[in-house]
Structure 1
């Protein structure tokens, strides 16, 4: 069975198309070597005091860079966890398959939390931001909530007791991210996640996955049944896998599409130009806000 067949077995034909698009974008990222530069806070504060228009330009160059980084990282990360599921399936590795599936859910929930509203927010302020980038701003244009969201995506972690950091650096519990994603029309996602945790933790499920009951009180050690177990797990949760990929890849793709309409060519992805998002309601809304064709 080819990798394409394994992809379709897990994610279906539509999911296979998501994977192809994601791979094109990743190849684009690999060829671009995008660099992100951030001005030291004291230097930035001084610039804002002495030349607020130049300071606002720097602010938005950095903000759009954060948006590009979040979009690219979310797509790469989701693709690698999805590809890990494919690799585990093709090599009949049930427990690693569960680990990759669980990680895909966690990373998608994180993406939804951080990027769910980024594209539309940028689309709404496009005209003012482009004026700022051209040093033609008539007033200061800041977006603190957007900034905190993007910083949370790139910097959030479990802080040590001695570590001092802004609130945006503090990670939430995984369950909080996942329950929020479940409410976005993915019923049963949290239950699926808990099941995968049982397999990936050193718990009863991870041991039982190596056994086959042959009578009420007899069990056969059968580690060679991994592919059957993977297929049963896919069948059990098949209603979730395609929507999960949509939530994994669409937010980043929308951000990249919107960034094409800002005066920061260093953050323009060429591959996203050739991907038709006219059937994606989120992109139609963004295009309307910016006054461009979907």
Structure 2
């Protein structure tokens, strides 16, 4: 809906405005999750196709790490944010509540994922902070994975002009410097070494990322909006995890908060 039209709706029919606001917010969360999942899949496919090309593999692995970290930066608080206010949001969506709630922080994060880019100083003065991309370090730090940080720094050395990016072609033999491009076997060995050395860190990254994504998909399903219902494989197994138990507890508590007037001050 056009912004001006929404503002008019807010004045004339606040119940409808609340419905529109939260449906669009949930649609946006769904869009971010889908885009993130598709990006991650493409990076994994790129990795799969470069197992004999050290540069291609390292660049794709670096892209995968950035993609997972970027998404987790945006979505890490989304499951509990939506679960905490689940009941009041659902009441607004179904037009059963006179309460109107907004969530500017969640709005900004979801916009950031889709819209953020490098802005010049003058552009930063024109646009909200959510439109300005953070540094990779800001995104990566949210993963809280020290080994992953170390791996990322190494991969940057491969992708950028650095010692790490030249060493597979340079050899010293009997005091002579040899430059040779017959490095394919070495590249395969180096790729295997990376995977063996950093398998635990990469596994932790993927698990953290996927648990967050699945939590959101399943929580969005709870709102029962047809356009954003997602089939989740092994859903019953995930519902047995501590992660979903915490989300479920917040959902239960959200009704208690609503019934006891917690949101009346936000009307």
Corresponding residue of 1:244:
205
Alignment partners' CA distance in 1, 2:164 and 2:139: 24
TM-score (norm 2): 0.86
Which segments of 5 or more consecutive residues in structure 1 lack a partner in the other structure? 1-38
Distance 2:242 2:112 in 1: 26
Q: Secondary structure at the match of 1:269?
A: coil
Q: What's 2:149 paired with? A: 190
Contact 1:159 1:170 in 2 (8 A): yes
d(CA) in 1 for partners of 2:188, 2:173: 19
Is structure 2 residue 68 aligned with structure 1 residue 112? no
In the alignment, is residue 231 of structure 1 matched against residue 186 of structure 2? no
Tell me the CA shift for residue 272 of structure 1: 5.0
Verify: 1:131 aligned to 2:91, yes or no.
Answer: yes
What 5-or-longer segments of structure 2 have no aligned partner? 254-267
Preserved contact between residue 119 and residue 254 of structure 1 (Cα < 8 Å): yes
Aligned 8 A contact 1:192 1:237 in 2:
yes
**Residue 94 of structure 1, CA deviation:** 0.8
Q: Show CA shifts across 1:71-122 (max 9, x none).
A: 1122221222122112211xx0110100011111111111121111101111
CA offset at residue 291 of structure 1?
Answer: 4.0
How far apart, in 2, do the equivalents of 1:179 and 1:261 lie? 31
Q: Distance in 2 between matches of 1:264 and 1:108?
A: 27
Distance verdict in 2 for CA 1:202–1:286, change over 3 Å: same
Q: CA RMSD in A?
A: 2.0
Output the CA distance in 2 between the equivalents of 1:194 and 1:217: 30
Structure index of larger Rg: 2
Q: Give me the whole-angstrom Cα distance separating, in 2, the residues matched to 1:121 and 1:262.
A: 14
Task: Compute the displacement of 1:190 (Å).
Answer: 1.7
Give deviations 1:182-240, integer Å, cap 9, x for gaps: x3xx2222221111001011333222133455456544513222211111121222221
Q: Does 2:149 match 1:149?
A: no
Q: Is the Cα contact below 8 Å between 2:170 and 2:177 reproduced in 1?
A: no
Cα shift at 1:136: 1.1
